[in-house]
Amino acid sequence: MTRAPTPRSTANNNYQPFNTACFRLQRAKQMIARGTSPTESISNFMQIQRKIGQVIFASYDKDVRPVKDPNTAVSVRLNPSLFSFVEVNVTQQTLTFKQWLKMYWIDEYLTWNPADYNNVMEISVQRSTVWQPDIMILEQVEIGQLTNDEQIVTVRHDGYITTSVDQLVTVKCQFDVIDFPYDTQNCTLRYTSWMYDEGKISLYPTEPVDLSVYSKNDEWRLKNITSRISHSTADGSSYVDVYYYIVITRMPTYYIVTFIWPSFLITCLSIVGVFSPFDEAGMRQEKVTMGLTSLLSMAVILQIVTDQMPRTSNGMPLLAIYIMFEIFLGAAATLFTVFVIYLHSFWMSNTAVPASLLASTCMRKRKRKISTSTMQTDLSATNLSAPYRKEPKLKICYGDGYEEALDFNINFKDLRMTSVRLRHRWSTSTHRLDLILMSIFIAINCVATGIILAVGNEKLNA
């Protein structure tokens, strides 16, 4: 297959297009020098352009490939200029972007000799009047652009045609959200002809990809765009495909501030709340309620995150794993609190503090004095300041009329003091256990948060 001559870039030409201000100014100066006004010059130029159009389009058929040899392929150069990303919908797995699709090819039927037309090098015509390659993006879901009658193409005297179409394109992409919100996505676009095989259209990209008009996005950072040529077969025919790989990386600042740090702080406050006594006597009311409230808050955050994720079975996103870990950490803290409350209640059955609990809380060999304030608080309710009275003697009668009196002279004050000491020992040991568990859980929370931030930063720099 003989490839058509490669179209020359307009950047290498040493003339200015007729519709530019510079060209009009030069033409005006020339006509003034000849004694002709600029208005007359523009009028004459328009007449020449219409005359060229009448000549080259007299027998032109826009439905026929613009080659005189039917065995020659039309060489079409692609140059899509990415303008901006409009929307990256991870849930629907679609990418919407704005681009200027520029294409260049040679139409062998639209040529003229500039010397015969006052050195006019190119003209502009409606896009609907010339043959166009049916290039499309196979992954496109929706595309918005002006009609052909509303668009202009430039035709050069040697048949070189330049067209630029402003498009709003929505394409289907396969997003991988395992690393969300530190994910990098690769969206593949395949440009190809729908009807013409490689024997009729030879498609190739402009290297490098034109990013001169690209506008940055607030959420996504464009890493690179690359292109390559490939061939595909359909219905026994071979087609030329041009692949464009758009690699974008999410900027996670919003998600760190909105999800990670609030989850970290809620979990820390929950841990501190469930492991802190609510009064000096060590009572632990409402601790379980506070833990459950924190779990509910974390569940709401998890629901917000999952609503932004596609419903796939590829795995759980990194942020969702972190929030689930925070939920399990809060649940474990609540369960440990219930266990500590259960231990604290043993004082009511006059059970001694186990040696293992004393050892874990560093109380085995320490003799602690009960503080005056605590002693007064615990003894005031028992009215120990009042003198104890002796109980009446108990008389036991036997069968032979024999009676015996038993005198129960019990010191209830000593018994109550022993009970207060036992209760205080249980309160002290469980309070220390609370502090130890609180330190452990907060350390685990800090380490987990540091790990996810470090892993995310490593993925961003990869």
- Coil, helix or strand for 164? strand
52-110 pLDDT per residue, tens: 999 999 999 999 999 999 999 999 999 999 999 999 998 889 999 999 999 999 999 99
Q: What separation in angstroms does the CA of 194 have from each of 52, 205, 240, 241, 429?
A: 32, 17, 10, 10, 79
C-alpha span between 326 and 444 (Å, rounded): 10
- For residue 181, which of 321, 70, 327, 278 has the smallest C-alpha distance? 321
9-64 pLDDT per residue, tens: 333 333 333 334 444 444 444 544 554 455 556 678 788 888 999 999 999 999 99
Report pLDDT for 44: 80
More confident residue, 404 or 169: 169
264-291 pLDDT per residue, tens: 988 898 888 888 765 544 455 566 677 7
Residue entry with tokens 């615990």: 378
C-alpha span between 97 and 87 (Å, rounded): 7
Out of 217-221, 308-312, 375-379, give the one with best mean pLDDT.
217-221
Structure-token pair, residue 204: 């190739």
| Pairing state between β 160-172 and 94-106 | antiparallel
Asked whether 83 and 215 are in contact (CB, 8 A), the reply is: yes
Report pLDDT for 40: 58
More confident residue, 157 or 410: 157
> What ranges in 161-247 are assigned the alpha helix state H?
none
174-196 pLDDT per residue, tens: 898 889 899 999 999 999 999 99
Least confident of 186-200, 371-385, 399-413: 371-385
**For residue 305, is pLDDT > 90?**
no
Report pLDDT for 414: 53
On whether the pTM is more than 0.75, the answer is no
User: Taking phi first (over 0 means left), then psi (-120 to 50 degrees means alpha), and beta for anything else, what does residue 95 get?
Assistant: beta
306-334 pLDDT per residue, tens: 777 666 667 788 888 998 898 899 889 88
| Pairing state between β 237-250 and 184-193 | antiparallel
Q: Beginning with the edge strand found earlier in the chain, give each strand of the sheet holding 135-137 in spatial order.
A: 135-137, 184-193, 237-250, 220-234
C-alpha span between 296 and 303 (Å, rounded): 11
Alpha-carbon Rg of the chain, whole angstroms?
43
Report pLDDT for 15: 34
Report pLDDT for 172: 95
**For residue 400, is pLDDT > 70?**
no
C-alpha span between 65 and 327 (Å, rounded): 65
More confident residue, 52 or 292: 52
More confident residue, 365 or 170: 170
**For residue 454, is pLDDT > 80?**
yes
For residue 459, what pLDDT band results from cuts at 50, 70 and 90? confident
Residue entry with tokens 């002006």: 146
For residue 243, what pLDDT band results from cuts at 50, 70 and 90? very high
Mean pLDDT of 253-257: 91
Report pLDDT for 329: 92
